[in-house]
Structure 1
């Protein structure tokens, strides 16, 4: 395709600005961006959180929040979209330009079947009757690879997996065979194998329909494999744009170079073979009661963890990987005795299998947990100082207020935050800073074991790297032992010296990190690694 042929241009954006009026004053979210997208081309817009990449395309679609204002130009063919009437926008949106979002569950109406939701753009834009629309919906469901479409057409969103819901969103977007599909972080919430399937599906559909794709993402691994051209944004401005080969092979801007260098790297050395076992769970079984009543006859149970044994040595990091529903997070909570479970548990030399909640309390300071979502796990009503010293009231009640404050200052310094921040609230911090606060809350108790449940998945790549380096430094300084739970295999590879691969509640393979990644024995492990490192 001749990319210089302007007749092939689907969308042209010029000097686009987006401003928001907030209680704290004007926020200039997008500061004069400009680019074009051609038929059959994939343009990736990359940048970290707050770079303005999503707001740029929301402005193009006329979907800004009520306190937002847009100026400049966004032309679809000969049609100017900025300042266009609602009727003009509605004739383009959902028909000529369509958009899919990161989290399909929040984009789909839980009260309507997926068949009805896919049919809506067909009825609205093409005037199809219900019977004709239903027939077309079945074609679309087959096209995007939803199994058993005749049955699934009458399913509700909650009855489908994350990958299937994203396929539903793609079917809706493709219903009217658009010229341009905008995909805003379409795979971030998905497991690596499902992510690979969705990206392959989009590439296949693009060839079939000849449509242009604008991919909004912070995942450079995805960009490298699917984009034709790349736009790099930072703080509302485009700092660099070019072909994929130009950006990845000869980046010019320091910010682009920083993004490219942010892939987790390094090798975690294994502890000595004679290092003592500090935490052990033998033959762990976790069953969940999924209820009875109208939907079930009799009590039903779901086995989340099925006869799993894990031994963590002093100074070791065990990475636990697997797709959603594999049981990895449930296993982590069972090892900390936070769930009702069967099995034998040992912390250092003590058998803690039969201890109740009160009897476990003296061990809690030694066994800490850091969660995936730093915002959800921090109380918005407490200051940072109150949050990180909370455990001291339980485990060291004799400490004076001055001593607690001293410990808070030490903990914040250790995680690289200004101690003056202890008088501020969580909402005043970025995602990476909030995760440092969550880590400080654990470290202030001087634990021996920390279980980290997806601690970097909500963070930009460059921030991920900083948090990983912080965790490594803390481990070396305090001789900590980690269980690192993640579906991000590149992070696991950089953090762990031993890897456990889980599927359907069981361990399918485990061994030293390099052995698992370089020569996996099981097909499931091979599929995970192939999906993670080829997309």
Structure 2
């Protein structure tokens, strides 16, 4: 057997808690990576995936340290190196591709200058040679206009293009090992395919080894040769990708796989619901940004959108980034005033601007945003955050308000003691539950959910969906669910709207999307959802109908 490129033995990584207590967050981890092999680290948030991956570069997050064991990369003992020597490895022997490409680029510098910067730092080659190599990588990564895209600034390319450019930045130094840290998590399904295809093609052609950090098993299935399953800083199971996906041995691995495919759910459409006005009716809605002149917004996003929702049912809205999904939620909520069309709540017309709506109209329709981090005031304890809507909508004060805060936390399955904490002391899933509890405080009829599970790992997202279903049964809620994750929409919604470039192209029953879809774009979206099958992406590349749809997008 060939000598491993990476060899990790008895790795222990420690951290210091806020109270000063020392804890081990990675405990006695062992694994090897062969030259040219791509190994996936999977597990829910907090399992140690990224911590282990970063340690392969000799890097630890603030407050953490490598406290035991060894990490060998080729001929280098990373654990025994000083920081200067570790820095010399980064970009040449090992490179890193982050989850957020936008955070990796300086917005004030041209793309080419940033992609070739590592060649200058390590004196790898003259600038002219580096630029030629960068253009070759742009072409290999299937980027448009490879000869000129380097002249642009980061804001002048799409999210998927920027993610591939961050890969070019990592690959230009010809590293032996590339670390991919959830690089497709924030991308919509069709863009994700393009990026995965490009990554896989370049890695295969170059023979580089890789570590792919992810909680998305379907993505891992397309790119990894082997999977390491992690929980609470310890390895639970290791095996070839197909073996782990088809014959998992550990109960935790089985839980991860079952969470990937949530059970479809349909609300009960009662005769009573059909007899009352729709919970939401939208007719001819158009909305956009910038000043409105001659009846049109300067930047038009939505054009002539119409649909209905019955009380107690759930509606999904799907489409790629930029299709207008979130803008539709904001226009319904009145955060972004529409410039044409009508919105009715239970037969009552709603003003375009939320400031002109009555308190009861505001109460009936609440919105939960994608990023709980930015939706919750970091300087306010949870009790204060939940108390504000209770006072505003219901006039609650004192002991009654405190009692209701505890009840709301219980409704979203959080302990009462959590009301004293700040948002920064909560996990991502806990913050999103608080975000949802704040919406419930108003006692709404309709909740607009804007990508509320996209930033959560598979297990936490599945638990969040179960919570939404339970609350719907108990409280008679309706949900409008904005998402680019079709499995999530299928699990929670009755009907689905498909949006493309601000237009509504098709309405489908959620339970039969794949059978009912007629529009080529709907079929493209549905066929673009990765499957738990290592051959899925390869088979997709030979699908002429999909290739035609991708070209015509």
> Could you tell me how far 1:310 is from its partner in structure 2?
2.2
Q: Secondary structure at the match of 1:483?
A: strand
Q: Which residue of 2 aligns with 1:373?
A: 371
> Could you tell me how far 1:458 is from its partner in structure 2?
1.4
Structure 1 residues 407 and 356 mapped into 2: Cα distance closer, same or farther (>3 Å)? closer
Q: Which residue of 2 aligns with 1:188?
A: 185
Matches within 5 A, 1:205-220: 205-220=202-217
Matches within 5 A, 1:50-449: 50-70=46-66, 71-125=68-122, 127-263=124-260, 264-269=262-267, 271-272=269-270, 274=274, 276-289=277-290, 301-341=298-338, 342-353=340-351, 357-397=355-395, 399-449=396-446
- 8 A contact 2:391–2:397 mirrored in 1: no
* Stretch deviating more after TM superposition (212-221 or 421-430): 421-430
> Could you tell me how far 1:422 is from its partner in structure 2?
2.4
> Could you tell me how far 1:495 is from its partner in structure 2?
0.6
Matches within 5 A, 1:452-491: 452-491=449-488
Q: In structure 2, how many angstroms separate the alpha carbons of the residues matched to 1:421 and 1:269?
A: 31
> Could you tell me how far 1:135 is from its partner in structure 2?
1.9
- 8 A contact 2:124–2:173 mirrored in 1: no
Q: In structure 2, how many angstroms separate the alpha carbons of the residues matched to 1:155 and 1:176?
A: 21
Q: 1:502 aligns with which of 494, 499, 503?
A: 499
- 8 A contact 1:501–1:525 mirrored in 2: yes
Structure 1, residues 460-489: CA drift from partner, whole Å, max 9, x if none? 111111110111111122221110011111
Give TM-score scaled by structure 1 length: 0.93
Structure 1 residues 322 and 168 mapped into 2: Cα distance closer, same or farther (>3 Å)? same
> Could you tell me how far 1:356 is from its partner in structure 2?
6.3
Q: In structure 2, how many angstroms separate the alpha carbons of the residues matched to 1:35 and 1:53?
A: 13
Q: Which residue of 2 aligns with 1:18?
A: 13
* Stretch deviating more after TM superposition (452-461 or 134-143): 134-143
Q: Which residue of 1 aligns with 2:40?
A: 44
Structure 1, residues 339-386: CA drift from partner, whole Å, max 9, x if none? 221211111121224676244333111111111122321222322222
Q: In structure 1, how many angstroms separate the alpha carbons of the residues matched to 2:357 and 2:478?
A: 23
Structure 1, residues 206-249: CA drift from partner, whole Å, max 9, x if none? 22111111101111111223221111111111121111233222
- 8 A contact 1:141–1:168 mirrored in 2: yes
Q: Secondary structure at the match of 2:530?
A: helix
- 8 A contact 1:270–1:498 mirrored in 2: no
Structure 1 residues 114 and 356 mapped into 2: Cα distance closer, same or farther (>3 Å)? closer
User: Aligned residues, how many?
Assistant: 522
Q: In structure 2, how many angstroms separate the alpha carbons of the residues matched to 1:290 and 1:192?
A: 33
Structure 1, residues 314-348: CA drift from partner, whole Å, max 9, x if none? 01100001111111111011112222212111111
- 8 A contact 1:60–1:82 mirrored in 2: no
1:34 equivalent to 2:35? Answer no
Q: In structure 1, how many angstroms separate the alpha carbons of the residues matched to 2:326 and 2:178?
A: 35
Unaligned runs of 5+ in 1: 292-298
Q: In structure 2, how many angstroms separate the alpha carbons of the residues matched to 1:359 and 1:242?
A: 57
- 8 A contact 2:509–2:516 mirrored in 1: no
Q: In structure 1, how many angstroms separate the alpha carbons of the residues matched to 2:176 and 2:494?
A: 48
Structure 1 residues 474 and 21 mapped into 2: Cα distance closer, same or farther (>3 Å)? closer
Q: In structure 2, how many angstroms separate the alpha carbons of the residues matched to 1:168 and 1:257?
A: 35
Unaligned runs of 5+ in 2: 532-536, 538-553
Give TM-score scaled by structure 2 length: 0.90
Structure 1 residues 186 and 377 mapped into 2: Cα distance closer, same or farther (>3 Å)? same
Q: In structure 2, how many angstroms separate the alpha carbons of the residues matched to 1:127 and 1:179?
A: 15
Structure 1 residues 18 and 354 mapped into 2: Cα distance closer, same or farther (>3 Å)? closer
Structure 1, residues 476-534: CA drift from partner, whole Å, max 9, x if none? 22221110011111100101010001111111111211332333212212221222134
Q: In structure 1, how many angstroms separate the alpha carbons of the residues matched to 2:479 and 2:65?
A: 47
- 8 A contact 2:288–2:297 mirrored in 1: no
Q: Which residue of 2 aligns with 1:530?
A: 527
- 8 A contact 1:346–1:353 mirrored in 2: no
- 8 A contact 2:286–2:341 mirrored in 1: yes
Structure 1 residues 361 and 90 mapped into 2: Cα distance closer, same or farther (>3 Å)? same
Q: In structure 2, how many angstroms separate the alpha carbons of the residues matched to 1:336 and 1:175?
A: 46
What root-mean-square deviation, in Å, do the aligned CA atoms of Structure 1 and Structure 2 show? 2.1
